[in-house]
Structure 1
Amino acid sequence: MDPSCFDHIDKLSQLWPTVRDTETILNRWMEWAQLRRGIVAWPEDYPLVVSPVTGMAVPLPLDYDHWASTEELERLMGQMRNSLWPACLGLPALALPNGVQLIGAPHNDEALFGPGRVVQATLPKCLPTIVG
């Protein structure tokens, strides 16, 4: 792993301290389970969620986050929140090269492929700027 990855881990660990007491861990687990139950129910009414992958202006230079400061990483995590919550809740998500992300129901990954092809064919690609 690149040394800047270890640097990211150290800095992000300062932003989100590790919880060590059992009561807090159990309370947070119950909060997560409650959120997950609600999320599992919404695909009945909303089978597909469309969101931006990130809240950043693009294109981005290659390795733009290498050796970022703690403040820059905190801002980056806030901008990447749309790609974090599906993973944390166990939802399938399909990120397309035009900056669009499709989020589906649990255990239904294949339902994203058809709409993904339509979105990818319709919108222009958004490629990173390579500087160096």
Structure 2
Amino acid sequence: MSALTESSGNGGPIAAAEERLARAVPVILRLSVGFLWLTNAGWKVPPDFGQEAGRGLYGFTAAAVEHPVFSPFSWVVEQVILPNFTVFGWGVLILEASLGAFLLLGLATRFWALVGVAQSIGIGLSVANA
């Protein structure tokens, strides 16, 4: 009998390979998304985060006001975030770097996945019409 068709008490080698693949896919996905967030944190350059040139994080954030998707969100960006942009920029940088690092390390992944979803919604509301 071949090793591939031989059955053991736990489902055989094919079942074991399928189980390994089923375990590997979420890990690969988590590592890929963590790397994506970590690399995207790299273009948020302190201390002004693009405010002087009107580009970078500032440009994408200002797009929420210039090309509104959801009026209440645009109002919050215009009245709260842009006047306090340096604090917001540092918050985004720390949040995205932490998000990427925690996903890469596999620590508190469910919490950081929710943070990533919330961050993605904010990004989408900022640039969807830009």
Specify the TM-score bucket, using the shorter chain as the normaliser.
under 0.3
TM-score (norm 2): 0.24
TM-score (norm 1): 0.24
- The structure that has the greater radius of gyration is 2
Pick the structure with more helix per residue: 2
Pick the structure with more strand per residue: 1
